[in-house]
Amino acid sequence: MPVASPPPKPDVPGPVRARVEGLGEWALLKLERLGFAARFFLAILRFSGLGIRRFGLVMREIHFAGVLSLVIIGVSGLFVGMVLGLQGYETLVRYGSAEALGTLVALSLVRELGPVVSALLFASRAGSAMTAEIGLMKATEQLAAMEMMAVEPLARVVAPRFWGGVISMPLLAAIFSACGILGGYLIGVVTIGLDAGAYWSQMQAAVDFRDDVLNGVIKSFVFGVAVTWIAVFEGYDAAPTAEGVSRATTRTVVTSALVILALDVLLTALMFRGT
Amino acid sequence: MADLIPVRLDDVAFGYDPSKRILEKVNLTVRPGQIVALMGGSGCGKTTILRLIGGTVPASAGTVSVFGEDVGVMNADALRRMRSRVGMLFQFGALFTDLSVFDNVAFPLRECTNLGERMIRDLVLMKLQAVGLRGASTLMPHQLSGGMARRVALARGIALDPRLMLFDEPFTGLDPISLATIGRLVRELNDALGASSIIVTHDVQESLQIVDYLYFIAGGRVVAEGTPDGVRASEQPFVRQFVRGEIEGVVPFHQQAADYRSELLAGAR
Amino acid sequence: MNRNRMLDLWVGLFVIIGIGALAFLALRAANASNFSSEPTYTLEARFDNIGSLKVRAPVRSAGVMVGRVSAIGFDAETYEAVVSFNISARYPFPKDTSAKILTAGLLGEQYLGLTAGGDAVMFKAGDTVRLTQSAVVLENLIGQFLYNKAAEGKPADAKPADANPGEGKSAGEKADDAKVTDSKAAESKTTDSTAKGGKTRAAKGAEGSQ
């Protein structure tokens, strides 16, 4: 019986092939952008000298990224701590270990919620503003004007913003955690009436300085680098139009959120495995 | 140095994308003390020429020389030195929105010189006085009208006493009074500084009043050039069309497209 | 100039608040003063069963924290758990110190308890603690209790009239078993008192059955 040979395939791009090609193109584009972002990161580091020599430039950005985020970070931290206090108490009291509330609140905040939530807030408060600012400076030719005045925009505009964000982030995360612990105290001790001594001593027994607090600080530092890097890159790379800037701002918030959460998984796995 | 040719472009070609050239072959010269206008339709690459001169983009072919030096072969240091002798006024001023008028004008002085703060203050006030805006020194850019912003940017552009000024559409979007003011300032400052200027514009009437020489650019080439009087008298079709603002002429009204009738019918099918 | 000074002031305040928050976390929440960078020395102890002891669990002596468990391993030749722990260099322990794995409260976290002996020679870094006692595994305890209860069931059936003392005895035996594994170092007051109560009752039960 003769085997029916399949008809010869036409060499025109079918829908599948077109889709695969489109996918490949998309991947290449993303890869190229990532490469550009990495090059940009190195350029920021190379042009950081001016910001160090004239620290006033970085101070301005710490003011912008840090001081102006203080209220939202502090208040959010307080609320998150209060919610942790309420929910934690509800759960712990079933197992008769309500006095472990301090431990629960402090560990959740110092290890996870402090760095992560403050980084998310930071990305949407300061990161998006950084992107919009740099994007608009590009759209209105301020960056080009700077370049024409023999001033390197990376050194004068981008690097100080980057360092301002990187310095602010760990401090903001610490403030967030501290406010959260106070929020948990307000709910657990002041409202519910747990013993204040138990709240603090249980916390101190369980929270380790190096493993918990320092790791939390390292986390927030990494998040700070990631978020400000994304923010200044998106701003610098934005299409110089109103639409381009608004897209870049959105991208900053979305990418930052994803990167923060992904990095958090990675860092948590590295730091707290087996403990 | 005064005798060096401030700007000279020899057979310059440029395209962001190699397959699509914006400039094909441009030759132009700016002589010391001259104000030269570059004219042409929107998107013909006039602003690109300014960027080539400023060294922010490299020419694909040909040489761009500023004060006798080839911009294409300059290293970062030489580029910086060249740029500190060049002032540029951007289309909408490009003032730094987070700095006050005073700080905007002081910006190049603070960044590029080692002058003391008192010296800088005096210089800034002098520059602002020159453009008539000393009284606005504490305002922020968003409090300024378009014309005032342009004048502040002009003061900032001349802060380092440049030998060459580049103007990117300085007349766009201004009322007639502001327009005349800017035009006069451009001429006065150019002469007072002993500098040379290039103005990119499509405002024919205003530029005919103040410039010494005009180049018309179309299709990536210089299609016509001449002194203001020569241009006014020119019978060259492109210059006539441009100077008189006629819709139909050598520059067609319609973008190149498929046959109108067949395209409409194709849609109806 | 004035604006700059205000800005510096705010940034300074921000940095102070941030560092204050860090200090708060370090001292108030984590008690960093409770040795974090103090010099320590490492000891080792082998156990048949470590229960749910974890790395970083506290090491206590007389209820005071003196160190932390640094590593937990498994010896494939002796099938024993090898627990390494760091002790603050401030606290030397004699060579005949014993190590036990204890539980804070009934269901709390497990920790390593050290009971100092009377030897004049002190441990050196890297030494192994010879006297060890494994963790109390609650399941085993319950299993043993049930087994004993079942074993008692027959004599209790034989003498149904004497049910009361029999019950007392079984409780006593349970307490005795707990004592064997948990030893007298049981910390929690409640555990201690029940153990004592159990003992007295066990004694009574023994008298009664005789």
User: What is the 3-class SS of B195-225, one letter each residue?
Assistant: CEEEEECCCHHHHHHHCCEEEEEECCEEEEE
Against chain B, the chains showing at least 3 CB pairs within 8 Å are: A
- DSSP states of A250-273: HHHHHHHHHHHHHHHHHHHHHHST
Is B12 inside any structural domain?
Answer: yes
How many distinct structural domains can be found in chain C? 3
The confidence band for C107, taking pLDDT boundaries of 50, 70 and 90, is low
Chain centroid, CA B85 distance in Å: 15
Taking CB atoms and an 8 Å cut-off, how many pairs form between chains A and B? 54
Q: What are phi and psi of B89, to 5 degrees?
A: -110, 120
Residue A150 has its nearest CB partner, among B80, B90, B97, at B80
**Same-domain status, C123 and C151:** no
C127 and C56 in one domain?
yes
Angle at B51 between CA B48 and CA B52, to 5 degrees: 90
For the domain that residue B192 is a member of, what is the CATH number? Answer: 3.40.50.300
In a domain, B250, yes or no: no
pLDDT band at A159 (very low <50, low <70, confident <90, very high): very high
The tokens for C70 are: 């640094």
Contacts of A178 in chain C (CB under 8 A): 20-21, 24-25, 29
> Does one domain contain both C122 and C151?
no
Please tell me which of the candidates B56, B84, B94 has its beta carbon nearest to residue A140. Answer: B94
- CB contact (8 A) between residue C30 and residue A204: yes
Non-local CB neighbours of A189 within 8 Å, separated by 6+ positions:
A195, A196, A199
Closest approach of C61 to chain A, Cα-based (Å) = 15
Nearest CA in chain A to B156: A149
Pick the closest to residue B214 from B47, B2, B40 (CA basis).
B40
- For chain B, the domain total comes to 1
In this predicted structure, what is the pLDDT of residue C168? 45
Residue C169 pLDDT class (50, 70, 90 cuts): very low
pLDDT value of position A41: 92
C5 and C81 both lie in a single domain: no
> The domain spanning residue C123 has which CATH number?
2.40.30
Give the residue from chain B lying closest to A60, CA to CA: B98
Q: How far apart are the first and last CA of chain B?
A: 69
- The parent domain of residue C205 ranges over 138-209
Residue with the two structure tokens 């179309």: B218
Residue A254: how many other CB atoms lie within 10 Å: 12
| Element holding B109 (H helix, E strand) | helix B101-112
C164 in Cβ contact with C185 (< 8 Å): no
In a shared domain, residues C125 and C174: no
In a domain, B159, yes or no: yes
Residue B113 lies in a domain: yes
B201 lies in a domain? yes
The pLDDT mean for chain B works out to 82
Asked whether residue C13 falls in the same domain as residue C46, the answer is: no
Q: Is residue B249 part of a domain?
A: no
Q: How many helices (H) and strands (E) does chain B have?
A: 10, 10
Alpha-carbon dihedral of residues A210, A211, A217, A222, nearest 10 degrees?
A: 130
Mutation target to probe the A interface, by most A beta carbons within 10 A, among C1, C14, C28, C86 is C14
Q: Are strands B196-200 and B35-39 parallel, antiparallel or unpaired?
A: parallel
Q: Which of A56, A149, A147 is nearest to B106 (CA)?
A: A149
- Beta-carbon separation of B56 and A144 below 8 A: yes
Among candidate residues C99, C133, C167, the one where a domain is terminated: C133
Find the chain A residues whose C-beta atoms sit closer than 8 A to any C-beta of B: 133, 136-137, 140-142, 144-151, 156
Are the beta carbons of B83 and A150 separated by less than 8 Å?
yes
Same domain as C145, residue C123: no
Express each pLDDT in C120-156 by its tens digit.
Answer: 888 888 888 888 888 777 778 888 888 888 887 665 5
Q: Which residue range(s) make up the domain with B91?
A: 7-234
Q: E strands along chain A, which residues?
A: none
> Which of A136, A145, A150 is facing B112, going by the closest CB pair?
A150
Closest-CA residue of A relative to B160 is A149
Q: Which chains touch C (3 or more CB pairs under 8 A)?
A: A
The average pLDDT across A254-268 equals 94
Residue at B252 is within a domain: no
Whether C18 and A274 lie within 8 Å, measured CB to CB: no
Exposed e or buried b for every residue in B207-235, given b needs 16+ CB within 10 A? bbebbbbbbbbbebbbbbbbebeebeebe
CA B9-B13-B14 angle, to 5 degrees, is 115
Same domain for C160 and C195, yes or no, is: yes
pLDDT of residue C171: 45
* Nearest residue of A to residue C37, measured between CA atoms: A210
| DSSP per-residue string spanning C37-94 | SS-EEEEEEEES--TT--TT-EEEETTEEEEEEEEEEEETTTTEEEEEEEEETT---B
Q: How sure is the predictor about C186, in pLDDT bands with cuts at 50, 70 and 90? A: very low
A218-222, C102-106, C113-117 — which is least confidently predicted?
Answer: C102-106
Reported confidence tier of residue B64, pLDDT bands at 50, 70, 90: confident
